[in-house]
Structure 1
Amino acid sequence: MTKEENEKRIERLKNIVLNMPEKPGSYQFYDADHTIIYVGKAKRLKQRVSSYFHKEVDRFKTKVLVSKIEDISYTVVNTEEDALLLENSLIKKYNPRYNVLLKDGKTYPSICITNEYLPRVFKTRQINKRFGTFFGPYSHTGSMFAVLELIHKLYKPRTCRMPITKEGIEQGKYKPCLEYHIHNCKAPCCGKQSLEDYQASIAQAREILKGNTRELSQHVFEEMQQKAAELKFEEAEELKQKYMLIESFCAKSEVVSHTITDVDVFTIVDDEHNRTAFINYIHVKNGSVNQSFTFEYKRKLDETDCELLLTAIPEIRERFHSKAKEIIVPFDMEWQLNEAQFFVPQRGDKKHLLELGEMNCKQYKFDRLKQAEKLNPEQKQTRLMKELQQKLQLAKLPYQIECFDNSNISGTDAVAGCIVFKGMKPSKKDYRKYNIKTVEGPDDYASMQEVVRRRYTRMMEEGATLPDLIITDGGLGQMSVVREVVEGELGLHIPIAGLAKDDRHRTNELLYGNPPKTIALKTDSELFHVLTRIQDEVHRYAIQFHRDKRSKHALHSALDDIAGIGPATREKLLNEFKNVKRIREASFEELSAVIGASKATKVKESLSKNK
Structure 2
Amino acid sequence: MTLVPPPFSLADVPHSPGCYLYKDSTGRIIYVGKAKDLRKRVSSYFQKRDHDPKTQKLVQTIADMEYIVTGTDEEAYLLEDSLIKRHHPKYNIDLRDAKSYAYIELTKEAFPRITIARKAKGAGQFFGPFVSGKERDYVLTVVKKTFRLRSCKSMPRNHRACLRFHIGNCTGPCAGHVTAEGYALQCSQAEAVLKGKTAELVSSLTAEMNRYAESMEFEAAMRCRDVITAVTHLASRQYVSRQKDYDEDVIHFIVSEGAVFLMVFHVYKGTLGGREEFIFEESDGFFEEFLVQFYSDHPAPREVIVPEAVDEGLALYLGSVAKRKVVVTVPKIGEKAKLLELAKKNIETVHFGDEIRVEELRKALHLADAPRVIECFDISHLSGTDTVASMVQFRNGRPDKKNYRRFRIKTVDGIDDFSSMAEVVRRRYSRLVSEEKELPDLILIDGGKGQLSSAKRVLDELEVDVPVISLAKSEEEVFVSGVPFPLPFGKKTRANMYLQEIRDEAHRFAVTYNRLLRKKRVCG
Per the normalisation by structure 1, the TM-score is 0.43
Using CA pairs under 8 Å that are at least 6 residues apart, name the structure with larger relative contact order, 1 or 2.
Answer: 2
